[in-house]
Amino acid sequence: MTTAFVNGRVLTDNGFQTGMAVLVDDGNITALALPSDPRVRAAEKHDLGGRTLLPGFIDCQVNGGGGVLFNDEPTVDAIRAIGAAHAKYGTTGFLPTLISDDAEVMSRAIDAVNDAVAQGVPGVLGIHLEGPFIAPERKGVHDPAKFRIAGADDIAMVARRHGGVTLLTLAPERASDDVLAQLVANGVIVCAGHTGADYDAMHHALAMGVRGFTHLFNAMTPFTSREPGVVGAALEDRDSWCGLIVDGHHVHPASLRVAIAAKAPTKMMLVTDAMPPVGSDNPNFVLKGETITARDGVCQTADGTLAGSALDMAAAVRNTIEMVGVPYDEAARMASTYPAAFLGLGRTHGHIAAGYRADMVVMDEAHQVVETWIGGERVFATA
């Protein structure tokens, strides 16, 4: 039975439109049509009550949620639980993210994501391996005991073909041209992060196929007057994407405004870097044997080191509007359309248009999530 989403404000490729119905059949959007269209009249109606219908949010960096840390439980059940926790906040697509770990844990995580994709676990699009091929001097909360230079076995493991995408964050200065070339040739999306590279090294890595930057500004060389650093290379480059953690703690709003103004249009995307407290009543989790507590939206170690975030994508969109001053439609695209393009999924995800998956989120006037739909199935609704 075709479902017609009616009586709402819809974010289309041409901006917000009212008086338009969205037709969904078999998990896909089949048309946008006027209410008078015979297809709309014949369909089962879903009344949006004047609320806003957006493309579902896509989060490329999800370490955990619902009380689960992916490193601790690299299983299909854990991925399912993490996805369900984030779906409450409009996330319809995500990459379970493994923080730097041993090869055996990495292999288990890759297998779990492969199985989750094969089983159709809602929302899972692939895997993000954040490390362990990163720089000790920019380690953040990662365990330097896990760091190493990528060898042939590592490349073969990371480049294994599966049904989803593979995103790898590495420090370009710790990877040879040959390693970068092999990863890119095998379809791995390579991002720079946790890196001490200078501008010249980063510029060269971009030419070698590095496609993006993991949590811009954080754990990378800054933009200064005489050395543009990784941040300068990221903002100058027209073809790469940058992930932004917009929680008011990782990056100052003024820095975000400057970066968004400098970067090529459509190349800034929101990420959460979320940890287990998102979607959980428990503010505590253990990382590397140390208890981390989320307080006032900040996850920190005892010495004040940021340990991921307690951010969800709906809050990231609100913050981008309210703290950074980005228009609503652009903030929503930073959470949906642009990450879909970054992941190579721009023809199937990230738009409300005919031929796209019916991954959608309904938000009220306060930019709070009311409903989340994945593949035409409602997976979350407020009471």
Distance CA 60, CA 274 (A): 10
C-alpha distances (whole Å) from 39 to each of 17, 25, 42, 180, 356 are 19, 11, 5, 50, 18
According to DSSP, the residues that pair with 189 across neighbouring strands are 167
Cis check: omega of the bond before 172, within 30 degrees of 0: no
The per-residue DSSP string of 175-239 comes to S-HHHHHHHHHTTPEEEE-SB---HHHHHHHHHTT--EESSTTTTB----SS--HHHHHHHH-SS
Q: Over 256-278, what HEC string results?
A: HHHHHHHCCCCCEEECCCECCCC
Architecture of domain 56-342: Alpha-Beta Barrel (3.20)
Q: Where are the domains of the chain?
A: 3-54+352-381, 56-342
Give the mean model confidence (pLDDT) for residues 189-217: 98
Question: What's the pLDDT band for 288 if we cut at 50, 70, 90?
Answer: confident
Is 250 annotated to bind a ligand? Reply is: yes
Q: Please tell me which residue in 59, 154, 247, 273 is annotated as part of the active site.
A: 273
Question: What's the pLDDT band for 263 if we cut at 50, 70, 90?
Answer: very high
Q: Has residue 383 got a pLDDT over 90?
A: no
Looking at residue 94, what is its pLDDT? 98
Distance CA 309, CA 316 (A): 11
Give the mean model confidence (pLDDT) for residues 252-278: 97
The sheet carrying 284-287 orders its strands as 284-287, 290-295, 298-300
Is 141 annotated to bind a ligand? Reply is: yes
The yes-or-no answer on residue 247 being catalytic is no
pLDDT tens track for 47-103: 999 999 999 999 999 999 999 999 999 999 999 999 999 999 999 999 999 999 999
Is 264 annotated to bind a ligand? Reply is: no
Question: The whole model's pTM is what?
Answer: 0.97
Task: Give, for 315, the enclosing helix (H) or strand (E).
Answer: helix 313-322
Q: Tokens 């500004």, residue?
A: 217
| CATH 2.30.40.10 is held by the domain 3-54+352-381 | yes
Alpha-carbon Rg for the chain in angstroms: 20
Is 142 annotated to bind a ligand? Reply is: no
Is 306 annotated to bind a ligand? Reply is: yes
Is 226 annotated to bind a ligand? Reply is: yes
Distance CA 5, CA 29 (A): 10
Q: Tokens 């995103």, residue?
A: 167
pLDDT tens track for 207-243: 999 999 999 999 999 999 999 999 999 999 999 999 9
Distance CA 377, CA 188 (A): 30
